[in-house]
């Protein structure tokens, strides 16, 4: 931190910014510590508000929340309403979406794209899949992503009677190829402020099942564009998956709905909203 402090101070002297936009707690703290010597404004951008350290983001002259749920949480932490701004994440039109890769998945592919963390609900998803796999012999679970808890999840999968149908694919530079190949996309998070992957899954035309926590319902327009289930419940998750598999018309209806109403989630809109906050903060 001490080394970062002096390096950051040197950067400020050379660049003399009007605005510092901090997405991480360290950046927000360093910006605040050095502000007494400079005239810049601080914009803090709150993503993982469930972390206690998110309180540091209060130092912003303006505070951006990635969802209404995050904004309400930060307001409960003491940030005044007129400092808070909601700018929902967007991916439509970003370079990341310009992909041509195709993958072929086995059987009935159920896909998640998530970090291998406990809070992403991977354990519940594997448990739910065990129930689904018993009823649907063609069902396969594909877990795209990496993280510190992967070994624990692999150990859990090794105890399953359906281990050969649970596939850990690790980090993939083109996760949307797996979404496009999926019959059902699942995100079973315990906590998630506003996951970009849900917008990407919608753009890929997935039938989506997600847990009803934090900003996730907002990404699916509160169930209009995907099925919402309670968090940390393998039973409810398995019921949701099997309901889609049992009724193909329902699954296809969710696929069709997913790609509707996506214009709002363009990167251009995110940029416009952010620039407007910059301008208003500079004159305040």
Summarize pLDDT for 207-256 with one digit per residue, the tens.
999 999 999 999 999 999 999 999 999 999 999 999 999 999 999 999 99
pTM, two decimal places:
0.92
- Given this model, what pLDDT does residue 191 score? 96
* pLDDT over 90 percentage in the chain: 88
What is the third-level CATH fold of 2-90+266-283?
Answer: Rossmann fold (3.40.50)
pLDDT at 140 over 80: yes
Task: List b or e across 215-239, with b for residues whose CB sees 16 or more CB atoms inside 10 angstroms.
Answer: bbbbbbeeeebbbbbebebbebbbe
Partners of 281 in the β-ladder: none
Is residue 181 over pLDDT 80? yes
SS (H, E, C) the chain: CHHHHHHHHHHHHHHCCCEEEECCHHHHHHHHHHHHHCCCEEEEEECCCCCHHHHHHHHCCEEEECCHHHHHHHHHCCCCHHHEEECCCCCECCHHHCCCCCCCCCCEEEEEECCCCHHHCHHHHHHHHHHHHHHCCCEEEEEECCCCCHHHHHHHHHCCCCHHHEEEEECCCCCHHHHHHCCEEEECCCCCCCCHHHHHHHHCCCEEEEECCCCHHHHCCCCCCCEEECCCCHHHHHHHHHHHHHCHHHHHHHHHHHCCCCHHHEHHHHHHHHHHHHHHHHHC
**pLDDT tens, residue by residue, 68-117:** 999 999 999 999 999 999 999 899 988 765 656 789 999 999 999 999 99
Which pLDDT belongs to residue 100? 62
On the question of pLDDT at 38 being above 70, the answer is yes
- What integer pLDDT is reported at residue 250 of this predicted model? 94
| Domain chopping of the chain, boundaries | 2-90+266-283, 95-262
Nearest-angstrom CA–CA distance, 8 and 248: 56
User: Does the structure show a pLDDT above 90 at 124?
Assistant: yes
> Mean pLDDT, to the nearest integer, of 9-29?
94
The CATH number corresponding to 95-262 among 3.40.630.40, 3.40.50.2000, 3.40.630.30, 3.40.190.10 equals 3.40.50.2000
Confidence at residue 95, expressed as pLDDT on a 0 to 100 scale:
78
**What rounded mean pLDDT belongs to the chain?**
94
Domains 2-90+266-283 and 95-262 share a fold: yes
Q: Do residues 220 and 201 make contact, with C-beta atoms less than 8 angstroms apart?
A: no
């Amino acid at each position: 931190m001490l080394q970062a402090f002096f390096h950051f101070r040197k950067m400020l002297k050379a660049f003399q910014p009007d605005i510092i936009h901090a997405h991480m707690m360290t950046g927000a703290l360093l910006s605040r510590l050095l502000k007494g010597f400079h005239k810049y404004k601080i914009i803090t951008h709150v993503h993982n508000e469930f972390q206690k350290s998110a309180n540091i983001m209060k130092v912003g002259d303006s505070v951006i929340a990635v969802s209404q749920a995050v904004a309400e949480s930060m307001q409960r932490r003491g940030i005044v309403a007129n400092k808070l701004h909601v700018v929902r994440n967007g991916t439509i039109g970003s370079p990341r979406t310009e992909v041509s890769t195709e993958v072929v998945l086995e059987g009935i592919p159920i896909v998640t794209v998530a970090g291998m963390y406990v809070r992403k609900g991977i354990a519940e998803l594997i448990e739910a899949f065990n129930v689904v796999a018993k009823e649907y012999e063609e069902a396969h679970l594909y877990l795209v992503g990496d993280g510190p808890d992967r070994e624990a999840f692999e150990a859990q999968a090794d105890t399953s009677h359906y281990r050969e149908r649970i596939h850990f694919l690790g980090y993939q530079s083109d996760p949307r190829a797996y979404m496009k190949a999926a019959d059902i996309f699942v995100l079973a998070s315990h906590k998630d402020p506003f996951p970009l992957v849900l917008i990407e899954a919608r753009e890929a035309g997935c039938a989506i099942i997600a847990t009803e926590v934090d900003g996730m319902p907002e990404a699916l327009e509160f169930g209009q564009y995907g099925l919402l289930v309670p968090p940390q419940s393998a039973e409810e998750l398995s019921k949701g998956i099997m309901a889609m598999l049992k009724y193909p018309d329902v699954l296809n209806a969710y696929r069709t709905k997913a790609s509707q109403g996506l214009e709002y989630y363009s990167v251009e809109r995110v940029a416009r909203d952010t620039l407007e906050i910059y301008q208003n903060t500079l004159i305040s």
